[in-house]
Each structure stands twice: as structure tokens, then as C-alpha cells.
Structure 1
Amino acid sequence: MTAPARTRDSAELIRAEEPVLAHNYHPLPVVVARAEGTWVEDVEGRRYLDMLAGYSALNFGHRHPALIDAAHRQLDRLTLTSRAFHNDRLAEFAERLAELTGLDMVLPMNTGAEAVESGIKVARKWAYDVKGVPADRATIVVAAENFHGRTTTIVSFSTDETARAGFGPFTPGFRIVPYDDLAALEAAVDETTAAVLIEPIQGEAGVLIPSDGYLAGVRELTRRKGCLFIADEIQSGLGRTGRTLAVEHEDVVPDVLLLGKALGGGIVPVSAVVARREVLGVLRPGEHGSTFGGNPLAAAVGTAVVELLETGEYQRRAAELGIVLRGALEGLVGKGIVGFRARGLWAGVDIDPAIGTGREISERLMREGVLVKDTHGSTIRLAPPLTITTEELRSAVGALGVVLGQA
């Protein structure tokens, strides 16, 4: 009779990863084994409040009942066909996602980086077929400090040397301008420009929110110059900022919308390029694809996500609780926080460097039972599930106050 396998503790599991996993991440030393709602539990049974929500992939919390039910029901029927065949879940997913976003057509993919890569390809194809840009001359204008993913093409237009160093040669065809600078953007756009690719809020850079009127200015400029406006809402979209999309804060409708993360409900990777018909209509069979893109399981979960957003409940929660978050953070300014930026349930918090780096503050918060993620320098990001309660939110910021007071 085989003896049951011995359960390894957190320290053993972390050590076991070292020789067999590529070291492309530096996670906090917590080993999550279970999760429900806004809480996760480690191997030893310690509970932590999740204030990161998988970089917005878990906007609806861990194991949301409606999403789990949709996945279970689909698992019992059909998981994958590939796009070599039609499946009975894809049409509804595309119809409802297009309706939710106010656009016409959907190109389903899997990861956020795939959505960005697909958006770039579509923009270039549109530039050649519709705008009349000479072959291989199309350019795309992007913003400095951007984060759109980590594929070779995407890091080609990153300004983060950690993401770039050692991965060249880089893909040409991109022009980088300062974020939130309409004059610089206008100077960079010319007759070869296929698109302007912008994050409505720069998450990785520290939740940088542009000046009022910037997004509307990008929309007006791209329309006037005859190029596409691509909004990367992979982190900012689907309820995070208190609206379905962050561009809605300025009543802007882009030509192309990139979605991911929360679209998969924290269950499966789902992403999408959503665009005007005349843009996505440039694709023809064989020109682009993905084996798993638009698979029945992903479509079923994605449809359930759209159903949750159609109620407006989660957008309202993010807006209302965002006021609570902002008020709680304001109480810590000058008491360890030197500043912060927040929209909805999303905040970049700048810690006094004398108190600690972002990583050090994250580790201290972990010991207080709160999980966050640092970004550059002494900045941490707060992005809890939209299902968090007022009490849980106040508790998390209270823990931050305790950590700052310990310095």
C-alpha cells in the first residue's frame, strides 16, 4: 500500500521551486493554497486579504459563484474545438461583449499580450489596406513608461530597461512620446501613423492618471490625423475604475479596445480585441489566429463576466468604495505616504523612501495579513477585488498605517 504523499510546508515549496522554475519572477514569500472572495489562505492556513486581485484579473474575487458555475457547466459539455470549427458559445460572447463596449466586432484571444500583438497587427493591416500607407512603412505611436506586455515586439517599445536588456534586436516601427503630452503626440503623428496605442491609466508605472482632457485630446487628434486610437484597457477596464472602461471618464470611444485579465474571471485566460467593423474587417482567413482563442470554455466564462458587468453593480461598487479608499489614504499622507493617485478601486501609493522600498513595505504588509505588489522604487499598488467590503478595505489601509508607523 502506497503511503500518502507528505504535505510540504511553505518554506519547502519555495525551496523546491528554485532549481526547476525559471527565475523571471520575484514573488513574495507566501504560498497560496486556497482562496474565496477577497481572501487567500496559505499552506499553513494563514489568511491574507488580497489587495492585488491578480493585477485586475480577479476583479470579481476568487471563485465568484456565478463564474465558477459557468465554468463547471461548460466543462461538462465542451472545452475546446479550435477555430477550425464553430462552437455554440462564441457568438453570444462576441455579441454581448461588443454591446457592452459600444463597438462592432470581436477578435478573441487568450492573454493580454496576445491582444496587444493582435491589435498591432490589425492596425498595420488597416494602415496598408485602408489608409494607403506604403508597404512596411506603418508606424505606431506609444507613450513612455508604458506596459503592454513582455513579448519581443512589445518590449521593443518599452522604456523599462529591465524588460529590454538582453532581448534585442528589437522590432522597428514605433515612436515613443511622453505620456500625457498632447503636443508631443501631435508632433509624432504623420502620414505613416497607423495608430496611437495608449493606456488610459498607466498601471505598471504606478497608476498614473493623465490630465483631464488628455484622452479626449487623443481621440480628437487621431480622428483629425486619420489614424486609429487603440486603448489598452487590459488592467483599467471591466469595472476597475468605477466605469466599465476607463475611457468612459472622458466619454471617449476608441477605434480599437484591448481587453484581458478580468475578462477571464480569474478562471481561464481570455483576451479580446474589440473594434469598429471597418478595422477588424481587414482580417481574412489565415492571416491571424490562435488555437485556444475563442474556445468554448473561455467563451462561457467570458459571457458570464459580461453578464456581471451588464448589471452595473461592480462599476458602482468600484466608484463608491473608491471614495472610501481615497479618504483612508488621505489620512496617511504625511504619515509615511508622500502622495498617491487613485481612480475607483485602483491606487498607486508613494511611500516615503526613508521608510522603505515598495518591496519592503509589501513584505511588511504580508506579515500583517495583507497582500499588495510594489512597482518602481517606493511605490505600491492597491487593486482589490471589486467585491471587497468597506470594512475589509478600511482594514487593509489600517494595516498599511500600522506598517508605516513601525518604521
Structure 2
Amino acid sequence: MTADTLDQRADALARNSYYEATATRPPADDPTLEGIHEADVCVIGAGFAGLSVALECRARGLSVIVLDAHRPRWGASGRNGGQTLAGFAKDEIIEQQLGLEGARAAWAMSIEGVALVRERIERYGIDCDFTQGYLTVATKPKRVPDLRAWMDAVSSRWGYEHLSWLDTDAIHARVASPRYLAGVYDPFSGHLHPLKYCLGLAQAARREGASLFAHSPVLKVVRGTRPVVHTATGEVRCRFVAACGNATLGDVLPSVVASRIAPIASYIVATEPLGKARADALIAGRAAVCDNNFFLDYFRVSADHRVLFGGRASSTGASPGQLTEEIRQRMVSVFPQLSDVRVEFAWGGFVDVTRNRAPDFGAIDPNYYYVQGFSGHGVALTGIAGRVVAQAMAGESAAFDLFAALRHKRFPGGPALRGPALELGMLYHRIRELL
């Protein structure tokens, strides 16, 4: 899938987004980059990661220019599931590659990532409906011991002691569904309105003195002691570059790096408003919920009393309209009491996934950094990505080097064959989950 095709499909996926319908954007987009500009740091991508780099660099006194190819917060940061989580998509990979002490350090930083989200909401007065509480649940008997083993490892090996085990009766008391057999409750993680949060980060970055430019796709980066970042109508001459575009970055990064992530489309629907009492009856405390299947369902109740229900990954970027009824049926299988409820919104976006589902942070040159591959854990982890990149630019590279030590393989087949290969791989895992 080419960058242009990916952008077209991503545009189509967001046309009926609940987040867009319920957030207030600035009256005008940031300007387009024109002419020659100078800065200490040029950030490519104005999503969670890029804005976090900008805020952290400004806190260290560095001048910052942020370039985005589209409208502000156009990509995954403005349309994701909103779960704000400690940990990683596959925690065991972190320990396998970094060792026990490395895994404990990485987990501590992921917890810091959740704390950073909450701190920025408070500091900058970002109204984004943050709600604490997160439930990981098991739907099948064979998944219950897996969930228990994960909780025990998190608590005893990786140093996160806030989790509590919920047996079948306890999980039924938390989630009004017969589907779940057990669960783990995390009171520190939570969920938010991602577009409102990202718009708030953008305003914070402007307030702190970063310069943001929209509709300014990067065509190339000329590497060197003072890199030059080129757009169609301007250029940024800088000391450091941070590439934070993830799945929609195009050809900016060398292929050896870009081929380590694949864009996977994920989909969400939002119901009509249910009213407070009916919504409250579904999930005690309105925690976010996610099962521990390979192809998982995730859902939560919004501030305006809707159910937001997501899942159904695709490597081809099928339109949300094609999948709306399928996702609604998945929602009804969880909550049969919602069989009479209409779906009002259906949208999606591309998630940047690595083969091992661990984050991929690295440096192409000593002054050219990239962060990608958040694999569904980007709301909190992108904040830490921005912090460790800014620290590395300031000469404090220990935290960045920890993540950079993670090893990643390329997806097979090149751009033309990557989609079909991914679809075959996902079909294999769907068949396994039916067994």
C-alpha cells in the first residue's frame, strides 16, 4: 500500500467519527510551511508523540517546529480507542529481550506515561473526559490461566502492584455481561477522548512556544550535522529531527526502518445516547474494558452515555460502513440488552504495529530520531517516547537506549505484498481462536 493510497483510505475511515463530531477544533488550521526556517528541533508529525517531543524540548529550552501533512491530529491520535494504559501490547517480549531489570525499568516508564497524561491534563486544563479504571477480561476457559499468569508477572516480576483479580462472580458484578469468566482490574489506567486530548496538547505546545505547521507533508530529509527537512513550499534547517508519523509517515524514513511496522486498520462504533442510568448499569465505575484474545474487543462508556465498541482489525482498510453491522453484533453478543440500540457513528484508523508488538524507538543518525510501533498502546506510551527523545537530544540517553535495544524484524514481502501477507497471517490467528 503506497503512502497516497494509505492516506486516501485513512481519510475515508474517519468520515463518520464520533470524536470529530464531539470535539471543537480551532477556527483555522495552523499555517502551511513557507520559506526557510531555523530551529533546534524539527518534529515530523503532530500527533501524541510529536507533540510530546515538542513539549519536552520546549521544557529544555530548545526551539521547535512541528510539521504535519494533514489537518492537526488527523492520524491515529485523533481517532483511537482512548485507552490510557500502563504496560505494553506483549509484555513478555519486553522481558525476553531486555531481561528482568530492563523489563522492570520499561514498565516503570510505562506507568510514568499514564501519570504524564494525567499531569498534562491537569497542568494545561485539557477537558478530555479522562476516566480512571481499566479491566482486562477473559472470554474462554483456556484464556483464564493466561490472564492470571500475566497478572502475577506484572505484580511480582515487573513491579506494578495495583492490579486485583476478579473471579466470575466479581467480573459479572463489574460488567453486566454473561460473556466473561474472569478479569483483572487496574485502577490507575483509564480512558479519555483522544481527539480532545490531542487538541489540548497542540494548544499546550503552541502556548509553550513551539511553531506548528499543517498541510505540510515532508518530502525528504537531507541528513547531516545540520539536517534540512524539505516540504513542497519550505524547509526547516535544524540540529535535530524527530520522525513521529508512525503508520502514515510515507517514505521519510529509510525502508529498513519503515518496513518494521505495518498499518492495521481498527474500527469503532458509537451508539446513540443511552441515558445515564442505562449506561451506568453496563460497567461499574465506567472502566474501559478489553478482552485478552488475539483479535480483541474493547469498549467503554463515553461521557455523554454512549457505548464505544471497537475491534475487527483489517490490513486492507475496509470501510467502516462495511463492518458496522458486524461490530454491532459483536457488541450485542457482549451486551444482549443493547439489541434495540442504534449505532450513530462508525469510523476507523490505521494502527502502527510491529511484528513482536513492542515499540520501536531508534536513531538513524545521532541527530535523527524516530518513534513508531506503539501497537495499540500509544495514548500513554507516546508521552514517554517524547520525553526520552528530548532527553537523548540533551545528552541523557539511558532511557532512550533501553527502548532502542529492542530488536525488530521487517515485515515480509515489501510494500506490494505486505497487505496480502498480513491478511493471511490474521486469517491464521482467527482460525486458531475458533479452536
* TM-score calculated relative to the size of structure 2: 0.24
Counting strand residues as a fraction of each chain, which structure ranks higher? 2
